[in-house]
Structures are given as C-alpha cells and as structure tokens.
C-alpha cells in the first residue's frame, strides 16, 4: 500500500503535509470516522483526497457547491486521477453513464450534490459500488444551527445503512461548538471517532475596523499603504462595477466579478487577477470559493457581511502564504442598523414562500407530483416582472425554499457542451457507412477527443470542432443535434444560465411541506448572527482575533497583538514613544514630502507597527494629507 507522503509527493509535488493534515489522513486510513475543522486555506481537500486514493474502492464526495465540485474534479483529472461529478442540471442519461462508470472501479472520486443522494438511480448504484470512503465537504450544512443549513444533508447518514463499514470524514472551515456536535450526531459517527481542530487564530492576519464617513477616500488610503493583490467585497452587483470603475479612474488596476457575468467573463477576470495582471478584484460573495491564490495581501469589506462565519472565510483569503496580511472592514454607524433590517427582511413568511412556489410551478407548467430532480433555466428578472415580485424578496424566498429542501437555486450555473457515443464501435462504423454526411464529423470527434467518448460524457468545443472541419459553428451544432435525434450520440449543449432544480416532486403550494418551527428558530439564529457581526465592528476593547476565536467556542487568553484594538492598546501603554514619533514625522514632512515607504526608510523607526499607526492617525485627523502622487505632506491648516 502506498504511504500518505508518497501519494502527496506523487500527485501534489509536496514533500510534507501542512499542520494536522497527516494526522487527519492517518485517522481516516485507520478506518475512523473523522471531523476535520480547518479554517479557510488549511488544505481540507488533501485530507480526504490522499486517503481516498490509498483506500481500496471509490471515494464518494458530497458537496453543495457545483463550482467547487467542478474545480476539484478538474484538478484531480489534471493529476491523472479519474474523478466525475453528478449534480443538478445534468440529464438522467448522463447521470446513468457516470454512475455505471463509477461501479466498474475505473472512477476514483465521485462528487455528488446532496440532493442527488436520495434518488433511486443513485441508491441502486451505490449499493453495488465498492466504496472506500465517504467525504462530506462543507459539513456545517448538516446543522440547522449553522449559517448555511441544507436539509438534504440530513439524508447523508442513510448511506451508512447501505454500507456500514465505510468510514466518513466530515470537513468544514467554520463551525461553532453546537454545530460540531450536530455534525458528529447527524452523521452517526462511531464512538471512537477522531476530531481535529486547527486554531482559528491566524498569526499573520491583522483584523482592522475603520469607522469612516468617506469609504472611497479610506479605501484609496488603504490600497496606497498596503501593496499587493487585494479583494474588495461588496453586497450588490452594481457596486462591484461602480467601485472597480472608481479605482481604475484613480489608476489602480481593478476588475469586478459577480454571478451575473457569463462563464467566459468570470473565468477571464479570475485568471487576470490570479496572474497579477489585475491588482484588485471587486466582488460579491460569489468570488473566492475554491480559488487558491496565496499572495493576497488585503481583503477589504465595504459592506458588513451577514455572519462572522462568512466574514472569517472571506477575510481568510488573505495571507495564505503565511506573510503579513490585512482584513479591513470599513464601517459607518448606519451600517449596523441596515444589516439588522436586511436580515429581518431576508426571512420571508411561509405564506410568501407558498406564493413564490406556486408561481414557479405556473411558470414551468408543472403538474402535481411531477418534475422531481428536473432542472430548468431561470431568468429572475422576467420571472419577477411577470409575477410582480420585488427582486430582493424573491431572492430571499428562493434561498429559503432551498433551505427547506424543496428546490435548488444556482445563480451562476455553467456547464460546457458534452457528448457521449450511444453506439458501440461496430455499430458506429455501420452508421458512418450508412450516413456518409456525418462521417467527417464523427472521425473528427474521435480524433480530437478519443475513445473515452464511448464510455464517458466528454466536454467538447463546437467552435474548435468547426475550425478543424473548416465549417461554420452553427452547422456543427445543427449536425450534433441531428446525431442526437438519430440516437447515435447524446449531445448536451452548453448551459450558462441560472438554474432552478425541483428536489422533490411538485407539491400543493397551499400545503407546502415546510417546518414552521424550524423556520422560526432559524430566523432567530440568523438575526443573532447578524447581531454578532455588529458587536464585532462596534467592539473597542476586545482583541479582534480573540473575539472571532470565542465566537467559535475557542477560549484563549492570548491576544493577537496585530489587530487595530491590540495596536491601540500598545500605543496607549507607550505614549512617550508615540509622541516622539509624531514629532519626528511632522518635522521631516515640514521640510520635504515623502511616500509612506520613503518616510519609514528615512526615519527608520524601531517599532514599525507604531510608525504605521502614527501616520494613519495623523492622516485620519487631517494633520497629514496625500498629494496627487501619494506623497505625504503637512496640511495647510497645520502650518
């Protein structure tokens, strides 16, 4: 049997594991149920992928995020490890082919969205698979006390009845004590289960909250002081565009990202940013999941996040390389009140849920009891206009219907064109002889994509095929559709629209099977989480890292020493040095203008953190100002 370190070196080219990874891998290889709580950037996927490769049989990975599934499948395939994914938006036939291949022992990793677990087609195949490991990613989704509860996760434990000897590993980045206990109970972990928790403390990440009436001005100052790659999070799609435009006008290269862009646009902008061709990405929370860019120096939130879980995940995308990084949150007094108001409004009544559900059924003309597992393209704007829904109220209702396990709502669904030969080699040859007009296309498909198309659905590019055949793309698409009608191939054209999937058969909207008690409990929980965010930003005495650790039930007396609160404390305890630095900075800048870096070099302060604070305070109070080329000078009012 291969050793974990050999597998890590062979497939990942790393010579050693990160802290806790090897212990987690060894626990799984020993057959123990395992809970791995690793903060963002802690390398969770390696913890199940390495033992998944070593253990005999297939590894079933359950994940709620289609984009993350696709990303991990692609990464495994690039390492010559065969992985496939089954999720909403795929045809029954395509799922059938994938599951058949997963039973043969050829596929090593099968990624499945939780909604697919209870379908008859999956259960029957699962019984016949040789399963070596079940991995539950984003495991906090199993708990109604978590910030992203998904009822289909509650069905995962039933897989244990079908294959009771298969160990389960559950992974999450953010879970309170209550949620951790829920994961262990709901997944029916055995008594000897192993639990691994990495501290939530990040010794290289400085949490900073800046109270300001002018966020744009403060944003520019921060980006001037902190060099390197940045992510700016905002709430709305329009704001991503507005802020990126503002930064570009100030000669800071920025792009924007949200779920409403096409797949090609999202991919191109993401690549530009990863390659450092763009310095700043202004984005909604649709950005960042599954992106491994270690050198992000600062993450800035211009709007308050909904929960501390979401904030910790997003802020944690800074400094994964271990170097000093910052998470800055810009705050105005009205922000807290606005967040609590929006949070209240985000919890629709059961009556409104019924109205939206009925509208969906009318929109797609669904008969009672139909559409289980079916996916439909969804145009939210035309839907809202047709049924006269407020866009925000509609969005909140769709997310709540998803939370109750009735539908799945994917805002940014992208699936490339896929093709599978329905005929075997001999019958395909006979078809080519009988239908000569398709012969060049079939030969080209085999030449470009190989024989795997007989056993698997393969991603194809119609423009690429058209170029090779010296044809028009529309002609190629028409021929592929014709071949599909003739049952020679199964052709799934590209999809790039939001999707609604009906998880269970269409229900009577008047008797919607929702748990009113749970909905009310969730409402209180979500409001409480928003209140915790407000407490975090309004806190003026508690170390920010300590605040986060204690929120996740990690008790500690250790202060981080690098957040804005800790620095303010140090400054107050060292007033003499602070005042000396203030005088020195003002004396130097009275004679000549310097950038922050030049000034630091000129003064050469013993305490660099204190120097940065002195400059920031003098700028904040208006004693110092920046000129057009970002050099500091003493303001006219002070002269």
pLDDT band at 1 (very low <50, low <70, confident <90, very high): low
**Does one domain contain both 334 and 446?**
no
pLDDT confidence of residue 99: 93
Q: Which residue has the higher pLDDT, 569 or 243?
A: 243
**Does one domain contain both 241 and 385?**
no
Count of alpha carbons within 13 Å of 131, Cβ hemisphere only?
A: 23
**Does one domain contain both 261 and 209?**
yes
pLDDT at 440 over 70: yes
Q: What is the pLDDT of residues 59-104, one digit of tens each?
A: 999 998 887 888 899 899 999 999 999 987 788 888 999 999 999 8
Residue 569 belongs to some domain of the structure: no
Residue 106 belongs to some domain of the structure: yes
**Region 259-277: what's the mean pLDDT?**
90
pLDDT at 456 over 70: yes
pLDDT at 542 over 90: yes
Residue 329 belongs to some domain of the structure: yes
pLDDT confidence of residue 637: 64
Residue 584 belongs to some domain of the structure: yes
What is the token pair recorded at 188?
A: 């029916």
Overall size of the chain counted in residues? 639
Q: What is the mean pLDDT of the chain?
A: 92
Q: Which residue has the higher pLDDT, 240 or 106?
A: 240
**Does one domain contain both 332 and 445?**
no
SS3 197: strand
**Does one domain contain both 351 and 259?**
no
Residue 567 belongs to some domain of the structure: no
**Does one domain contain both 73 and 28?**
yes
Q: What is the pLDDT of residues 590-619, one digit of tens each?
A: 989 998 889 999 999 988 888 888 888 898
pLDDT band at 259 (very low <50, low <70, confident <90, very high): confident
Strand ranges in 332-386 using DSSP code E only, listed in sequence order: 375-377
Task: Find, among 41, 59, 47, the residue nearest to 22 by Cα.
Answer: 47
What is the pTM (predicted TM-score) of this model? 0.80
**Region 474-479: what's the mean pLDDT?**
94
pLDDT at 425 over 60: yes
Residue 555 belongs to some domain of the structure: yes
**Does one domain contain both 51 and 190?**
yes
**Does one domain contain both 486 and 471?**
yes
Count of alpha carbons within 13 Å of 127, Cβ hemisphere only?
A: 8
pLDDT confidence of residue 639: 57
- DSSP letter (8 states) at residue 151: G
User: What CATH number is given to the structural domain containing 520?
Assistant: 1.10.10.10
**Does one domain contain both 520 and 552?**
no
Residue 139 belongs to some domain of the structure: yes
**Does one domain contain both 251 and 222?**
yes
Q: What total of structural domains would you count in the chain? A: 5
**Does one domain contain both 520 and 579?**
no
pLDDT confidence of residue 378: 93
Burial of 457 (0-12, 13-18, 19+ CB in 10 A): buried
Report CA 273 to chain centroid distance, whole Å: 17
Please state, in angstroms and rounded to a whole number, the distance separating the CA atoms of residues 382 and 153: 32
pLDDT at 19 over 90: no
Residue that is last in its domain, among 443, 476, 492: 492
pLDDT band at 638 (very low <50, low <70, confident <90, very high): low
Q: Any bridge partners for residue 325, and if so which? A: 205
User: What CATH number is given to the structural domain containing 41?
Assistant: 3.40.50.300
Residue 160 belongs to some domain of the structure: yes
Domain of residue 366, residue span? 342-414+497-525
**Does one domain contain both 233 and 304?**
yes
Q: Which residue has the higher pLDDT, 612 or 639?
A: 612
What percent of the chain is predicted at pLDDT more than 70? 99
């Amino acid at each position: 049997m291969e050793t974990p370190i050999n597998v890590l070196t062979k497939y990942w080219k790393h010579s050693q594991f990160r802290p806790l990874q090897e212990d987690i891998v060894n626990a799984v290889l020993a057959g123990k149920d395992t809970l791995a709580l690793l903060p963002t950037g802690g390398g969770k996927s390696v913890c199940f992928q390495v033992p998944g490769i070593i253990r005999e049989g297939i590894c079933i990975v359950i994940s709620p995020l289609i984009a993350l599934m696709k990303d991990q499948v692609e990464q495994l395939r690039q390492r010559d490890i065969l992985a496939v994914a089954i999720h909403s938006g795929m045809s029954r036939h395509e799922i059938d082919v994938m599951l058949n291949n997963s039973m043969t022992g050829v596929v090593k990793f099968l990624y499945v969205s939780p909604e697919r677990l209870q379908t008859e087609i999956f259960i029957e195949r699962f019984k016949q698979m040789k399963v070596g490991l079940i991995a539950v990613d984003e495991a906090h989704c199993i708990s109604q006390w978590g910030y992203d509860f998904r009822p289909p996760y509650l069905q995962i434990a039933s897989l244990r009845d079908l294959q009771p000897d298969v160990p389960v590993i559950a992974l999450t980045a953010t879970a309170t004590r209550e949620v951790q206990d829920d994961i262990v109970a709901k997944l029916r972990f055995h008594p000897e289960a192993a639990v691994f928790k990495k501290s939530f403390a990040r010794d290289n990440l400085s949490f900073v909250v800046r109270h300001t009436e002018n966020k744009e001005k403060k944003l520019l100052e921060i980006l001037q002081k902190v060099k390197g790659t940045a992510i700016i999070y905002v709430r709305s799609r329009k704001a991503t565009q507005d802020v990126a435009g503002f930064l570009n006008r100030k000669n800071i290269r920025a792009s924007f990202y949200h779920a409403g862009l096409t797949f090609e646009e999202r991919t191109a902008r993401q690549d530009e940013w990863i390659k450092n061709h763009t310095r700043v990405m202004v984005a909604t929370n649709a950005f960042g999941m599954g992106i491994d860019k270690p050198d992000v120096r600062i993450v800035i939130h211009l709007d308050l996040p909904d929960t501390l879980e979401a904030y910790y995940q997003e802020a944690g995308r800074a400094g994964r390389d271990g170097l000093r990084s910052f998470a800055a949150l810009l705050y105005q007094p009205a922000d807290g009140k606005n967040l609590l108001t929006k949070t209240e409004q985000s919890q629709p009544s059961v009556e409104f849920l019924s109205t939206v559900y009925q509208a969906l059924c009318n929109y797609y003309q669904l008969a009672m009891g139909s559409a289980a597992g079916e996916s439909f393209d969804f145009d939210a704007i035309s839907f809202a206009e047709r049924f006269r829904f407020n866009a925000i109220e509609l969005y909140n209702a769709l997310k709540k219907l998803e939370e109750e396990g009735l539908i799945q709502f994917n805002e940014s669904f992208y699936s490339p064109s896929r093709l599978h030969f329905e005929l075997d080699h001999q019958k395909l040859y006979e078809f080519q002889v009988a239908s000569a007009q398709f012969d060049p296309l079939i030969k080209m498909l085999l030449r470009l994509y190989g024989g795997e198309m007989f056993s698997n659905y393969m991603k194809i590019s119609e423009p690429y095929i058209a170029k090779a055949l010296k044809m028009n793309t529309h002609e190629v698409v028409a021929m592929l559709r014709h071949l599909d009608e003739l049952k020679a191939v199964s052709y799934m054209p590209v999809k790039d629209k939001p999707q609604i999937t009906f998880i269970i058969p269409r229900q009577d909207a008047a008797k919607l099977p929702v748990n009113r008690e749970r909905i009310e409990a969730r409402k209180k929980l979500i409001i409480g989480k928003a209140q915790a965010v407000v407490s975090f930003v309004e806190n003026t005495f508690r170390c920010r890292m300590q605040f986060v650790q204690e929120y996740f039930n990690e008790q500690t007396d250790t202060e981080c020493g690098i957040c804005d609160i800790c620095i303010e404390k140090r400054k107050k305890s060292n007033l003499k040095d602070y005042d000396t630095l203030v005088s020195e900075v003002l004396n130097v800048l009275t004679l000549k203008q310097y950038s922050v870096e030049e000034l630091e070099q000129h003064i050469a302060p013993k305490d660099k953190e204190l120097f940065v604070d002195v400059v920031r305070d003098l700028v904040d109070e208006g004693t110092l100002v920046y000129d057009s080329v970002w050099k500091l000078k003493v303001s006219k009012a002070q002269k």
